Chain A
Amino acid sequence: MRIAAPETSDLYIPTKRPFNFGRWFSRTGWRHLVGAIMVVFSAFPLLYVLSASLHPGGTLITANGLFSEVDLGSYQTLFNLPQQPYAAWYGNTLLIGGITSVCTVFLGALAAYSFSRMRFIGRRPGLLMLVLVQMFPQLLAVVAIFLLLNGISDIFPAIGLDSQVGLIMVYLGGALGVNTYLMYGFFNTVPASIDEAAKIDGAGHARIFFTIILRLVAPILAVVGLLSFVGTTNEFVIASIVLITPEKQTLAVGLYQFVSQEFSSNYSVFAAGAVLAALPVMALFLWLQKYIVGGLTAGSVK
């Protein structure tokens, strides 16, 4: 025993300490408690919409019985509303958001490339201007935008009021600004020696830009494209004054008008519309999550 004792103390490895709730709680347990509360807080409203949308013919008051009935009736009603062309809104939102985000990425990348790779007079003031412009969002000048488009529609109705092309053009006014600034930072991280190597091999500036640089900066393009898509989907102010015909409106405008007319009685149909509207955005968001977290810290806000 006398000899064995030090041996065992040497060999004894405490594989598992006895579970002590107090110690566990003070170290990580309370974190799980906070986490559980926050999970309820953040997920509950989303579950509430989902349950409301599955409640057939539901009003606001029946939506309170969570998941008491499950039925897809509201989704069918949604696509057969006489006054509200939901499918058209959905298509318009995807179309306007898609075109705007692709064009935004393209215009922003062009500008960021020139700011990052070329030296020219007015470069620094130009960058400074982009930083300042992002402090003044377009919606501040919403009255002037409306009157400008009103004036344009006297001359070219195709890009004036009640035209989706006109709306996209207005959105593209905000394409430079924060996006370019985000991309500029990322372009700078791509070594200029890559450009030079390509140049020596005989590539022109356009070839370098389209075939080399754009591929190397793909992550930031994804982030800017997504943020621009989400921003366009959420945009209400300008869309609501430009698009007048119901068939041309976006989800934000259409759903708001739908729900503000008869708030409590249409709730399950609205909820069904909301669930479907949120799906593409949320899917994109969770899919590109890791890129976004990086892009966010580089300076953009929801």
Chain B
Amino acid sequence: MQSGRERTKMTHPGTERDEAQVRESKRSRQAARIAEAASAGVKTLLVKIFLLAIVDAISVYALFVLLLRADWVVFGAVLLVTLIVNWIYFSKQKLPAKYLTPGLIFLLIFQIFVVGYSGYIAFTNYGTGHNSTKQDAISALIVSSQQRVPDSATYKLTVVEQLGNYSFLVTEPDGTVSLGGTDAPLRTVTDATLDDTGKAVALPGYTSLKFNDIVANQEKIAALSVPLSDDPNDGTLRTPDGSKAYLYLSDLVYDEAAGTMTDTKTNTVYTDNGKTGSFVAADGTELLPGWKVEVGLANFAKAFGSESIRGPLISVTLWTFAFAFLSVLTTFGLGLFLAIVFNDMRMRGRNVYRVVLILPYAFPAFLSALVWAGMLNPQFGFVNQVLFGGADIPWLTNEWLAKFSIIFVNLWLGFPYMFLVCTGALQSIPDEIQEAATVDGARPFQVFRLIKLPLLLVSVAPLLISSFAFNFNNFNLIYMLTNGGPRDVTAGVNVGSTDILISMVYKVAFVGANRDYGLASAFSIIIFLLVALVSVISFKQTKALEELN
């Protein structure tokens, strides 16, 4: 479009040109606007308004919920994005933005933002026992050490429900009727319906639960604990049967002024030391759950400082590089060899071979790993039982054999891709080059080594790099084939000898009872840096970015 306009400009000679140009561009702009308006029919406009209305409706709902929760940062972000989206789509210009915005929003949130967020988590102690805020941790601690107060008063109880949430409608021994829920302390209500015994049984706006409702939701109701007042130290009401409630008091008492937690049984005082995000006694005993705090470089110090983690981290990093490199080397080697073998016009049935050879590539990768895990099973697997006549070779449980098995299975998974790629690249090399070399007296191997291979490498080098990057994070293969094992029992984290960095991150963060998101994110950051380093080097080598226009 632009070049077209330039060409028209060129046809006007001399001084007339500038004047004509101004007029021309003005008129052409006008024309463009008319054309645009004429081409955009009513239907298109309606579709556009309809889609924007949906987006805005969702945003308004989100803003409303965020307003109620007083979550101002997210509120601001949602408001800003909504305004920008509306501005872009109602503007007459900003055409590129109209096409880019939908994809960019997802990219920014789920690819760019999460990277920054990983960086933040790496500096916190987020994980099992440190999941939430200090306030939540205090209530959780108090609730968890609650015990029924012996010989305390019995409250007559009706469990009521509103919008799916249960509340307690209690009649105190002195006849006062109050209502409260898990998040709302008891407050006195006056408009409740009483039965003959003076027990409150219903409240306008709430549904009273019948006996079978209570039985059906027994677990939920037994887990309810309604605070008596705003002060968590006053205790809570709980019910064992849905018809009577008792006062429960905690052994732990929180002193808000001093910021300490006191165990009333042993008189131990636990203080918040401001570092670990938990209450710690003088002798070092920690009360869990704690809460999330920023811990600075502690996770990195743990990763590099403590011997039981540094050792595995280094060996896992080396194996990740070795695995990625060997995977590319073996798959490319076999793929190239097969491409040369089958790239002969005299050979019949090449298409049949090709279809069969790409079957491993078409088979879903996670299933392949699981199937091979079955075939390589030491006791019952096909390889040991049939191929090796009942031998007991620990394919997946010996450190080095497991590494070999992983490379071997990845060869099975990956060679078809390299075969396809190399076949394509070989066929795109002109025959004349080969003929010229043959005329000059080159032997077939020389033709291959000195002419075809360099030409081939030029076109497949970027693919080899992306294959390396892919295998660097080939989680599925490792996790499904060996689960990272055999496990290294001396390591301070759950890690095995075939684990690569990404599977280590997953195990530290999500496998087992003790999840450590902070440490896992610190490992993620290390992977990011390594991948960035590899990309910088490889892009510099291939100059792939220079071709970008």
A residues touching B (Cβ–Cβ < 8 Å)? 27-28, 31-32, 34-35, 38-39, 41-43, 45-46, 48-49, 52, 59-61, 63-64, 107-108, 110-111, 113-114, 118-120, 123-124, 126-128, 131-148, 155-156, 169-170, 172-177, 180, 192, 195-196, 199, 202-207, 209, 230, 233-234, 236-237, 240-241, 252, 255-256, 259-260, 263-264, 267, 270-271, 274, 277-278, 281-282, 285-286, 289, 293-294, 296-297, 299-302
Whole-angstrom distance from the CB of B114 to the nearest CB of chain A? 4
CB-based contact B517/A274 at 8 Å: no
Most buried by A among B506, B527, B528: B506
A110 and B99 contact, CB distance less than 8 A: yes
CB within 8 Å: A-B pair count = 304
Which residue of B102, B346, B475, B483 contacts A28 across the interface (Cβ within 8 Å)? B346
Q: CA A133 – CA B212 in complex, angstroms?
A: 56
Query: Which residues of B from 488 to 537 have beta carbons under 8 Å from A?
Result: 502, 505-506, 509-510, 517, 520-521, 524, 527-528, 531-532, 535
CB proximity to A under 8 Å, residues B454-475 = 459, 462-463, 466-467, 469-470, 473, 475
Are B103 and A31 in contact, CB atoms less than 8 angstroms apart? Answer: no
Instruction: Verify B106–A172 contact, CB threshold 8 A.
Output: yes
B382 at the interface (CB under 8 A from A): yes
Q: Are B463 and A145 in contact (CB under 8 A)?
A: no
| B4, A196: Cβ atoms closer than 8 Å | yes
Binary contact track B27-65/A, C-beta < 8 Å → 1, others 0: 000000001101110001000000000000000001001
Are A256 and B375 neighbours in the complex by a CB distance under 8 Å? no
Identify whether the interface residues of B are mostly helix, strand, loop, or mixed.
helix
Contact B417 A301 (CB under 8 A): yes
Report the Cα distance A126→B35, complex, angstroms. 29
- With contacts A39-B356, A155-B71 taken as known, whether A107 is within 8 angstroms of B377 at the C-beta atoms is no
In the complex, the answer to whether A60 meets B473 with C-beta atoms within 8 Å is no
B359, A230: Cβ atoms closer than 8 Å = no
- Chain A residue at minimum C-beta to C-beta distance from B78: A155
- Contact assessment for B517 and A147 in the assembled complex, using a CB-CB cutoff below 8 Å: yes
Cβ of B69 within 8 Å of any chain A Cβ, yes or no, is yes
Which B residues fall within an 8 A CB radius of A?
A: 1-2, 4, 35-36, 38-40, 44, 62, 65-66, 69, 71, 74, 95-96, 99-100, 102-104, 106-107, 109-115, 117-118, 121, 126, 338, 341-342, 344, 346-349, 353, 355-368, 370-375, 377, 379-382, 385-386, 412-414, 416-417, 420-421, 424-425, 459, 462-463, 466-467, 469-470, 473, 475-476, 479-480, 483, 502, 505-506, 509-510, 517, 520-521, 524, 527-528, 531-532, 535, 544-545, 548
Partner of B114, one of A145, A204, A263: A145
Query: Could you say which of B370, B479, B505, B531 contacts A143, with CB atoms under 8 Å apart?
Result: B505
Report yes or no: B367 in contact with A255, Cβ–Cβ below 8 A: yes
The listed residue (A28, A175, A203) touching B106 by CB distance below 8 A is A175
A–B Cβ pairs within 8 angstroms, 11 of them: A34-B341, A38-B356, A39-B353, A155-B71, A173-B110, A173-B114, A204-B36, A234-B365, A256-B366, A263-B374, A281-B362
Enumerate chain B residues within 8 angstroms of A60, measured Cβ to Cβ.
374, 377, 380-381
Residues in B neighbouring A172, C-beta threshold 8 A = 103, 106, 110
User: 16 extra interchain contacts, Cβ-Cβ under 8 A, other than A169-B110, A204-B44?
Assistant: A110-B103, A133-B112, A138-B111, A140-B527, A144-B117, A173-B109, A175-B107, A234-B364, A237-B475, A237-B476, A237-B506, A255-B366, A278-B363, A281-B363, A297-B420, A302-B414
- The minimal Cβ–Cβ distance linking B390 to chain A, given in whole angstroms, is 10
A24 to chain B, nearest CB (A): 10
Asked if B424 and A293 sit within 8 Å, CB to CB, the answer is: yes
* In contact, B509 and A146 (Cβ under 8 angstroms): yes
- What's the Cα separation between A278 and B416 when bound, in Å? 17
State the main secondary structure of chain A at its contact with B: helix
